[in-house]
Amino acid sequence: MNELLKPVYLEEKLEEIRADGHQDYRSRSLPTWCPGCGYFSMAEGFTLALKKLGRSAEEVVVVSGIGCASRFPFFVNTYGFHTLHGRTLPVATGVKQANDALTVVAVGGDGDAFAIGGGHIPHAARRNVDITYLVFDNGIYGLTKGQTSPTSVLGFRTSTSPYENGDEPLNPLMMLLAYRASWVGQAYAGHPHHLADMIAEAIAHRGFSYLHILSPCVTFDKTTRTYRNLNMQVRDLPSGYDRTDLAAAMGEAMKVDHPALGVFYEESRPTLADVMDETARKAGLSPVPAGGE
Amino acid sequence: MNGTDVQFAICGSAGDGTIAAGDILKRTMALMGYKVIAFDIYPAEIRGFGKCISRVRVTTEQAYSLKHQSDVLMSLNDAHAIPHVGEVRDFGAVIYDNAPIARLPEGGHVSAHIRPMQLPYGVSFRSISDRATGNARGRNIVALGYLAGLYGMPAEAFHQTIANKFATKPQAVTDANVRAFEAGYEAAIGTFKLDDVVMGSPLHRADGARAVMMTGNGAVVRGLMDAGIDCYFGYPITPATTIMERLAVEMPRRGGRMLQTEDEISAIAATIGAGYAGARSATATSGPGLALMAEMLGLGVMAEVPSVVIVSQRGGPSTGMPTKTEQSDLNMAVFGGAGDARRIVLAPTNVEGCYRCAGLAFELAEKFQTPVIVLLDLYLSNRYETVIPPKENPFEPKQATGPQGPVFRRFELTESGVSPRAVPGQAGGVHTITGLEHNELGRPSDQPDNHVAMSAKRYRKLEPATRYPGLTTIKRFGAAGKVDIGILGWGSTFGEILEAMFEAENEGISCSAMKVVMLSPLPVDELEAFFADCRVVLVPELNHEGQLATLVSGTLGRPVVRLPRATGAPMRVDEILAEVRRLAAETAAAAE
Amino acid sequence: MTESLHYVVIGSGSAGHGAATTIRARDPGARITMITMSRLPFYNRYDLPKMFKGVTDWRDLLAEDPKIYDELGITLRRNSRVVDIDGRARTIALAHNEVIAYDKLLVCTGGGPNVPAILEDYRPLMHGFGTFEQASATVAALPPGGQVVILGGDMIGLDIAFNLLEAGYRVSLAVGEQTFWPHRVEPDERAVLLKSLAKTGLDLIEDRSVVAIEAADRPARRVHFDDGSMVETDIVMPFFGILPIVDFMLGAGIDMERGVLVDPALKSSNDAIWAAGDVCQIWSDVDRDYRFYHGWKNVRVMGELAARNMTGAEETFDTADESVIEVDGNGCIRSTFWEH
Ligand SMILES: Cc1ncc(C[n+]2csc(CCOP(=O)(O)OP(=O)(O)O)c2C)c(N)n1
Ligand code: SF4
Ligand SMILES: [Mg+2]
């Protein structure tokens, strides 16, 4: 049975939440998202993940861009930096360069990530910066009230594509695989427990982890990426799937009509910090090249 | 100027070793204890045979800029050198190859252009090199040896510089170059010196301190390093690239981290990210990069994150003239970006200043929780000066951070405007910063009173910066008190302004000069006092519009006389002087 | 509009200088180029002995303010050696590989010291006085009150000898055939002249010829004579008359003997080439031969005259003008070459 269709009893739920303790990671500010927005799942999933990993709040920095999804840092009780539209990853890279010990989680929407911020993703991925990037893909610009995004489906009507969107949507998973992200996964706001597990796994990964989260915008998208549609489309990865097989991952990522949930790809390779340490080692060994003053 | 004051110009094409010869010359002069100011001009194109000029001014007393006229011109390529023969003063020397291989049309040889009062020295660099080293590649070093011999400079000092320069190459390279140098030197010994250029002996400092030679960019690197830079992020762009290149060598050796980012937006974004996380972090760029950084700088102002941005200006707008100097990014540095976003902008006027401003920029950025822009230009970035390194590291270590009070208010409205700051990792300091207008806790707020109070806080907190200890934010030179002509300047141009001012003083003109190092916030009181003392204030600067002139006259509501020049070359002392003379005559006439 | 003519003058001594200024006066639109090996603007070679009296800065020896080149629009090409002239193509090649085209060419390169074959090997041990640089080196090599041996003599050398004596130096003169060059003197005249010379304070070395010069340590030179005798001295200066400097003209295709052969209007066998000064031999109707006419007065006259003829005049040089040397009533030597 679909999780969302289960009845929820408020008192019971609140008690369960308090006892769990993960609410310690929530801030006093109440989310400003529209009721029903898929993003609520992230506040929940994230806090559950931190609880699971046992990270203390002051070790964690959430860096976000601009958008509905990017409001996230205000709703959690960790260090947070709500930056500029599209600049999530470079700011997060800076934070991590300054202090390797921090757990850095970058958060943004699909426009933030793949439109204005698209140029930064390949570089964070190829450098294998040890951060986690959570992209909440609602296929629309939520905060600016419903314009077309780079992941909007063909034929989608928005305020900026009143005669239907004619631009081919991007395939973020294929892009991230091609960029050599060392951990690539997909989750769905409608499956919050799976999402929480995936966030935890993404954070635990050493290196750049990318989690694509399908999330409905209940206010501005009544036709395409709705819970109803997504519930019918999502599927599990095939059994026996090898998450170290890049070609297989690409193959799964291509099946856009039936998005698979789970870890598409994982590999272990030196992180940016490792490279920095290696550079420092080499620099210590070599004579100072000429040209200095 | 008493004592030695000789300017050498070496001109040739990119393949002639022009800059290398100039480099050995200036390093040797510095090694000997002279004061040196030098500036090389490169062609814009990387390959091919574009024009290079290396100008080296050697003095015993402090000089402030290159001279408009050189005492000696050495041509390694006549086609390039011919237009520069005119810059040699009367009774100065022009040294050239008198046996070029190619047949030249009339006027194709540099000797055709030597004025009757200039002294010609024809030498066969090529065949001397051939004889000494077996090939003609050492022509530039032969020429250098000739120059050294002609002016009686000690050959050993050059040998040392040559050895240093080729230290990483096989010994044979040094040997060949020393042989070429010696052969040129020898040739000069047999030459009758007819010019009146004299190299006196260098003065040695009483305290025995040895000067080192640095470019503006080199000094920026030293300043950043001495101030303990933790992180650097940058994207290559002329004329700032050499900062990143040097830091790439030095930072890893001291545990610092240098990262070449994918663009300037990410460079400043990461710089601010690292600043937020408590690092001393910096980036460097030029005008086009600064334009890309404008939005992030606004975030730095709004979220009150320390960061340092070195900007070396070049000809603009747009891609403009990448290898030419200009001071046309003042407006953008001071005002660029969205909203009321005051930040600190420092514009050093000499190489020493580059060192101080770069290092102190970290202190200011931390103390006032703001982006700090250090504004250079190509002329200052690339020019060499001898500087005495400080005996002790003059920069303060990083300030302690941490939450204060029972409830940590990251943006607390204090009297000074500076709020307590905590960095990620610090217990009890958990908070979120944002580019949205926010309240004392950092929560988004668009309440009118809050915006007014927060804007005022962000302006108020920067005011004491103009009196920051250890930093010259503004300074007057020359006569004190009332004068006829005041010359106001900033950045690299101030050297030329000082030279012009001293010259005008010698001519009996009542004048004085003031440099503004802190362009934002402006040291208004000192400026007011200066304007009150001067009948006329002249503002020479390297841009089309007169950007400092507009800034100062707009801020003070006082008239100024503009002298904007945007040719791509440094300001000319004689042009400033001519304007000062004109204004002096005018004020005298008006007084009658 | 007619193209302006390009006049090229080789040599920047008094003949060349006088010629260039004359051309400018007569053809305001002309292009004028002067080419010289000298590295200095025009100075008078005959003024160089002033250097013994402490005038050692070349700027004090200039005959003209160098500004005049700009004022007169004369391009002065210094430190430039002409290596070839193509009389047909009307081009000049310079040693530094530059080629210059001319319409009319005036050669006034003057002469260089004539050094006898026997002394050729000792050139590096002798001091000349033909240029500022040589004169400076000579002055620098002379200690106060030092000793000079002048070999030969000649009227230029004698002039220098007198200046040296005046400046307090000791001067020995090894007399020979060229002692009164360019004057042609009969043996009886010669005896009288030598007697007069001896009275000036010169130490005459007669009836001996030099066979070798040797470098030594203080004084710096030893001069050996054919009779086995030796004289110690600080410097040795050879003066055996001068030879015209014409080697670069060999390919020009014009008539030459020792110098450039010119008619009394100073034009060579090539219609576009003139010569003036010590470099040319002028046809003398009196002597029915080509003759040299040395001396600064002649040289200046020739330069200006050639310039006038190059710009349309048809004047001739007075070849009857005789050079005279004699001892006057007071026992002093008088010469049309110089006055002392
Ligand atoms: C430089 C800049 N351009 C435009 C905007 C306006 N803007 C804010 S959010 C947004 C789009 C948000 O879409 P998305 O990233 O998908 O986030 P969502 O709201 O859907 O979560 C835009 C265009 C901005 N803040 N900054
Ligand atoms: S506008 Fe859409 S994306 Fe934004 S909060 Fe509302 S539902 Fe969520
Ligand atoms: Mg979106």
CA gap A149, A143 in Å, rounded: 12
pLDDT score at A56? 93
8 Å CB contact between B143 and B184: yes
Look up the pTM and report it.
0.90
The answer to whether residue A4 is domain-embedded is: no
Q: Is the CB of A264 under 6 A from ligand 1?
A: no
Tell me how crowded residue A68 is: count the other CB atoms within 10 A of its CB.
26
Same domain, B261 and B178: no
Q: Which of A161, A140, A136 is nearest to A150 (CA)?
A: A140
The answer to whether residue B373 is domain-embedded is: yes
8 Å CB contact between A53 and A203: yes
Same domain, B244 and B177: no
The answer to whether residue A228 is domain-embedded is: yes
Q: Which of A29, A58, A99 sits opposite B278 (nearest CB)?
A: A99
Q: Which residue has the higher pLDDT, B439 or C50?
A: B439
CATH of the domain at B276: 3.40.50.970
pLDDT score at A3? 58
The structural domain count of chain A equals 1
Whether B121 and chain C come into contact, CB under 8 Å, resolves to yes
Task: Please determine, for residue A291, whether its predicted confidence score (pLDDT) is greater than 60.
Answer: no
Task: Please determine, for residue A20, whether its predicted confidence score (pLDDT) is greater than 80.
Answer: no
Domain borders along chain C are 6-110+245-310, 115-241
Q: Number of helices (H) and strands (E), helices first, in chain C?
A: 6, 22
Contacts of B230 in chain A (CB under 8 A): 98
Find the mean pLDDT for residues B243-267. Answer: 97
Same domain, B42 and B91: yes
Same domain, B497 and B576: yes
Each residue's pLDDT tens digit, A169-197: 999 999 999 999 999 999 999 999 999 99
The structural domain count of chain B equals 3
Each residue's pLDDT tens digit, C185-200: 888 888 888 888 888 8
Each residue's pLDDT tens digit, B502-550: 999 999 999 999 999 999 999 999 999 999 999 999 999 999 999 999 9
Rounded to an integer, what is the distance from CA A44 to the centroid of its chain? 14
CA gap A144, A155 in Å, rounded: 20
Same domain, B283 and B369: yes
* Alpha-carbon distance values, B489 to B522, B528, C244 (Å): 13, 15, 63
Same domain, B103 and B136: yes
For B31, the domain range is 5-189
pLDDT score at C133? 92
Q: Which residue has the higher pLDDT, A82 or A8?
A: A82
CA gap C312, C61 in Å, rounded: 34
The answer to whether residue B432 is domain-embedded is: no
HEC letters along B291-335: HHHHHHHHHHHHHCCCEEEEEEECECCCCCECCCCCCCCHHHHHH
State the burial class of residue B103 (Cβ atoms within 10 Å of its Cβ: 0-12, 13-18, 19+): exposed
CATH architecture of C115-241: 3-Layer(bba) Sandwich (3.50)
Find the mean pLDDT for residues B27-48. Answer: 87
CA gap C110, C102 in Å, rounded: 20
Find the mean pLDDT for residues B319-323. Answer: 94
Tell me how crowded residue B378 is: count the other CB atoms within 10 A of its CB.
30
> A219 CA distance to ligand 2 centroid (A)?
6
H helical segments located in B325-480: 330-335, 351-368, 378-382, 448-460
Element (H, E) at C191: helix C187-199
Each residue's pLDDT tens digit, A121-146: 999 999 999 999 999 999 999 999 99
Each residue's pLDDT tens digit, C253-272: 999 999 999 999 999 999 99
User: Confidence class of residue A25 from pLDDT cuts 50, 70 and 90?
Assistant: confident
Task: Please determine, for residue C8, whether its predicted confidence score (pLDDT) is greater than 50.
Answer: yes
pLDDT score at B174? 94
Of ligand 2's listed atoms, the one at least distance from the Cα of A69 is 3
Lowest mean pLDDT across B34-48, B154-168, B516-530: B34-48
- Choose the final residue of a domain: B339, B365, B387: B387
Find the mean pLDDT for residues C301-305. Answer: 94
Find the mean pLDDT for residues B5-9. Answer: 98
CA gap A51, A58 in Å, rounded: 13
Q: Which of C264, C319, C316 is nearest to C286 (CA)?
A: C319
8 Å CB contact between A167 and A148: yes
User: Which chains have 3+ CB pairs within 8 A of B?
Assistant: A, C
Cβ separation of B116 and C66 shorter than 8 Å?
yes
The answer to whether residue B395 is domain-embedded is: no
Same domain, B88 and B180: yes
User: Confidence class of residue A28 from pLDDT cuts 50, 70 and 90?
Assistant: confident
Q: Are strands A103-109 and A60-64 parallel, antiparallel or unpaired?
A: parallel
pLDDT score at C287? 85
The alpha-carbon gap from B254 to the nearest alpha carbon of chain A, in Å, equals 8
User: Confidence class of residue C339 from pLDDT cuts 50, 70 and 90?
Assistant: confident
Of ligand 2's listed atoms, the one at least distance from the Cα of A36 is 7
Cβ separation of B106 and C97 shorter than 8 Å?
no
Task: Please determine, for residue B431, whether its predicted confidence score (pLDDT) is greater than 90.
Answer: yes
Task: Please determine, for residue A205, whether its predicted confidence score (pLDDT) is greater than 70.
Answer: yes
Q: Number of helices (H) and strands (E), helices first, in chain B?
A: 18, 21
pLDDT score at A26? 80
Among all ligands shown, which has an atom nearest to the Cα of A66?
1
The answer to whether residue B274 is domain-embedded is: yes
- Residue A112 has what DSSP assignment? I
Q: Is the CB of A233 under 6 A from ligand 1?
A: no
Specify the CATH class of C6-110+245-310 in words.
Answer: alpha beta
Find the mean pLDDT for residues B483-493. Answer: 98
The answer to whether residue A133 is domain-embedded is: yes
Lowest mean pLDDT across A44-58, A190-204, C37-51, C100-114: C37-51
8 Å CB contact between B198 and B92: no
Q: Closest residue (by CA) to atom 8 of ligand 2?
A: A37
Whether C77 and chain B come into contact, CB under 8 Å, resolves to yes
In sequence order, which residues have a C-beta less than 8 Å from that of residue A64 and are 6 or more positions away?
A: A70, A71, A72, A73, A80, A81, A82, A83, A88, A106, A107, A108, A112
Give percent of chain B above pLDDT 90: 93
Find the mean pLDDT for residues C19-40. Answer: 95
Task: Dig out the tokens for C124 from the structure.
Answer: 């590096």
Whether the CA torsion A240, A245, A250, A253 is positive or negative: it is positive
Contacts of A280 in chain B (CB under 8 A): 252-253, 255
Provide the 3-class DSSP secondary structure of residue C284. Answer: strand
> C294 CA distance to ligand 1 centroid (A)?
97
In sequence order, which residues have a C-beta less than 8 Å from that of residue C177 and are 6 or more positions away?
A: none
Q: What share of chain C is helix, strand, coil (3-state, %, to 5)?
A: 30, 30, 45
Phi, psi of A159 (to 5 degrees): -65, -25
Q: Are strands B212-215 and A103-109 parallel, antiparallel or unpaired?
A: unpaired
For A91, the domain range is 11-285
The alpha-carbon gap from A149 to the nearest alpha carbon of chain B, in Å, equals 22
The answer to whether residue B522 is domain-embedded is: yes
Whether the CA torsion A182, A106, A134, A197 is positive or negative: it is positive
Q: Which of residues 122-181 of C touch B (CB under 8 A)?
A: 133, 136-137
Task: Please determine, for residue A215, whether its predicted confidence score (pLDDT) is greater than 70.
Answer: yes
The answer to whether residue A169 is domain-embedded is: yes
Task: Please determine, for residue A293, whether its predicted confidence score (pLDDT) is greater than 50.
Answer: no
Same domain, B270 and B357: yes
8 Å CB contact between C45 and C61: no
pLDDT score at B199? 95
pLDDT score at B253? 95
pLDDT score at A5? 66
8 Å CB contact between C49 and C89: no
User: Confidence class of residue C1 from pLDDT cuts 50, 70 and 90?
Assistant: very low
The answer to whether residue A198 is domain-embedded is: yes
pLDDT score at A1? 46
* Alpha-carbon distance values, B15 to B48, B100, B147 (Å): 7, 15, 20
Same domain, B152 and B184: yes
Same domain, B158 and B221: no
Cβ separation of C100 and B106 shorter than 8 Å?
yes
The answer to whether residue B196 is domain-embedded is: no
Task: Please determine, for residue C229, whether its predicted confidence score (pLDDT) is greater than 60.
Answer: yes
Give percent of chain B above pLDDT 70: 99
CA gap C184, C155 in Å, rounded: 11
CATH of the domain at A143: 3.40.50.970
The answer to whether residue A160 is domain-embedded is: yes
Mean pLDDT score across all residues of chain B: 95
DSSP B492-524: GGHHHHHHHHHHHHHTT--EEEEEE-EEES--H
State the virtual CA torsion across B248, B249, B250, B254 in degrees, nearest 10.
90
User: Confidence class of residue A292 from pLDDT cuts 50, 70 and 90?
Assistant: very low
Contacts of B216 in chain A (CB under 8 A): none
Find the mean pLDDT for residues A2-17. Answer: 72
Same domain, B258 and B377: yes
pLDDT score at A8? 72
The answer to whether residue A51 is domain-embedded is: yes
